[in-house]
Amino acid sequence: MSSSAWIAYSMCDINYTYKLYCVHRDVRQGKNIYFDMWKPFEAGSSPIDWCERNYSISSSIAEFMNTLSNVVFLLLPPVLMHLFRDYGRFVNPGIHVIWFLLMIVGLSSAYFHATLSLIGQLLDELAILWVYMAGFCMFLPRRYFPNILHNDRKLLAICATLPTLIATGLSFIHPAINAFALMSLGIPAFGFMIIELKRTKSMRVYRLGLRCGAVWLLAVACWLNDRLFCDTWLNLNFPYLHALWHLFIFIASYTAAVLFAYFSVKEEKPQQSPVLKYWPKNDFELGIPYVTIRSYVKLDINTNI
C-alpha cells in the first residue's frame, strides 16, 4: 500500500473511531437525560427529610409513622360527606370538593412519606395549596370582596386560580421552601376565623372555634419542633411529632371547614337556618362536628355560596 493510501486509510479509521465515540457519547447522555426525567420519582430524591428515622420500622416504607398517620385523611372525609349531605343538596354541593381534596392530601402525603420522593413531596404540597384555594373561594365572606368582583363568587374563583397556578409553577423551583410557604397560609385563615367567631351569637359555635384554634396551634408546635429540634426529640427517642402534626392539622382543617360552612350559611342564606351538630351524639361536643339546616328549600344553583 502506498504511503498516501495508508494515510488516507488511517484518516478514515480515525474519523470512524471518532464518530463511534460521538455516537456512544450521545447515547450515554441520552440515557442520562432519560434517567434524569425519572429521578424525581426515585426514593429519597426529595430535599425534605423529617425527623423520623428512615426505614426503621419497615424496610419498604421510609417514614412509617408519618405515612400511617395519614389514614385519618382517608377515613373521616367519607363520613363528613354523609353528614353534610343536606348541606350539599340544599346549600352548596361544593362542600364535598373540600372533603374530596382532603382525601387527595392524605394520599399524596402518604406517598411522599413512604418514598421521600420529590414527586411525592410536590403532590403533597400542591394538594394542600389547592384545598386551601378551594376553601378560600368558597368561604371568603362577601363583605371582603373587592369592588371589581361585583360580589360574584365565581369571578373570585377565576381570579384566585391565576395566582394559585403561578404558585404551583413556583413550587418546582425551590421545593425545600414550599413547606414554610404553605405554613404561612394558615395565618390569614386563622385571622378570618377569629373575626367570624367574634360575630357569632352561638356559644356552641364559639366553643368549637376555640378548640379548633387550640388544635391548630398544637399542630404548628409539633411541626416546628420536628423541623427545628429534631436532635432533641431523637435523644428522647420520640421522633414522631410530624405524625402528630398530621393528626392535629387534619382535625383543625376539617373543623375550620365546618365552621366556615356554618358562617357562610348564617350570613348569606340565613333563611336556611344552619345548625351545628355533633356525631354520633349531639350532646357530646368532642364528637365529629357538622352543619345541617332546618329549612329544606332548594335554591337556584346560581345563588350557591
Which residues sit in the known binding site for Ca(2+)? Answer: 49-50, 52, 54, 63
Q: Which residue has the cell 434524569?
A: 36
Whether the bond into 239 is cis, omega within 30 of 0: no
Q: Would strands 274-279 and 288-293 be described as parallel, antiparallel, or unpaired? A: antiparallel
Phi/psi at 253 (5° precision): -70, -50
Annotated binding residues: 49-50, 52, 54, 63, 113, 242, 246
Cβ within 8 Å of residue 175, ≥6 positions away: 46, 47, 48, 118, 121, 122, 125
Identify how many contiguous H helices and E strands the chain contains and give both numbers: 12, 2
Query: Cα separation of 265 and 271, whole Å?
Result: 9
Contact in structure between 178 and 125 (CB atoms under 8 Å) = yes
Annotated binding residues for Zn(2+): 113, 242, 246
Cell numbers for 183, please give them.
405554613
Query: Cα separation of 119 and 96, whole Å?
Result: 26
186-178-194 Cα angle (round to 5): 5
Residues 184-204: b if buried by 16+ CB within 10 A, e if exposed: eebeebbebbeebbeebeeeb
Contact in structure between 125 and 137 (CB atoms under 8 Å) = no
